[in-house]
Amino acid sequence: MAGKACNILVTGANRGLGLELVKQLAEASCPGRRIFACCREPSKAQNLEELAKKHPEVIHIIRLDVGDLASILESAKQVGSILGEDGLNLLVNNAGLAYRSNMKETVPKEMQDTFNTNIMGPMMMTKEFLPYLQKAAQSSAEAGMSCSKAAVINISTLLGCIEKVPQTYGFFPVLALPYRISKAGLNMLTVCNAEEFKEEGILFTLLHPGWVRTDMGGPDGEIDAPDSVSGMLRVMDTLTEKHSGAFLDYNGQPLPW
């Protein structure tokens, strides 16, 4: 369970949902826990740094740009040297980017940046951290799958639901075409990963955090980050092999594709 997972990595940990995830995970009492809080510019991540000062044994700040393969490789090396013989129990691919443009406005660079961050990022993170996840799965005595054994949680969105487009297009501050397409792609990636790694005991689940008042969600969101994150952590605690390849919201309700 996320509540019991020992070694956890969170991307985009300097603000918004990522920072709140690190906070709640660090505050949960779990002996020996290590949280790899990854962000692009640690020197500018004051809130994360202050949090890390309160939990110096737990939080390790790691420089990581998920859109840059060299940065992913470097972060994997650093995390590996801290993990030593231990595996990584939980990878949370949270970092995300949203351009709010529609079809007429969207330019190729926005599509490329969004795909790079929201699809290539989680994909290459999973690929490069796979040896550590495999190590965690292999060394666990636990049967089945869970977030305390070996899991990848990909943060998706209701806006990536193809079936819901007639209801949601134009609802979220604006249309966010590149964002929607990228998250629908992330959903496919996650389901394929769940299938490919099921024999290895690694859980892959998509979570929608709700419409949250962060920089991305804006001030009109429905909930605050602490409520979204406590909900997602509760859901993570309940995940088993039955949920590998599932798409759930922060209350554990399944979402359509």
Q: Using CB under 6 A as the criterion, which residues of the chain lie in contact with ligand NDP when the complex forms?
A: 11-12, 14-18, 39-41, 64-67, 94-97, 117, 155, 157, 208-209, 211-212, 214-217, 221
Q: Which is nearer to ligand NDP, 40 or 55 (CB)?
A: 40
Rounded least distance, CB 232 to ligand NDP, Å = 10
H, E, C per residue of 76-135? HHHHHHHHCCCCCCEEEECCCCCCCCCCCCCCHHHHHHHHHHHHHHHHHHHHHHHHHHHH
Rounded least distance, CB 234 to ligand NDP, Å = 17
Six-digit token string for 151: 């899991």
Q: Which is nearer to ligand NDP, 22 or 137 (CB)?
A: 22
Q: How far apart are CA 231 and CA 85, in angstroms?
A: 32
Helices 177-196 and 121-139, axial angle in degrees (round to 10): 30
Rounded least distance, CB 123 to ligand NDP, Å = 13
Q: Which is nearer to ligand NDP, 202 or 255 (CB)?
A: 255
Of 125, 136, 139, the closest CA to residue 96 belongs to 125
Q: Which is nearer to ligand NDP, 87 or 122 (CB)?
A: 122
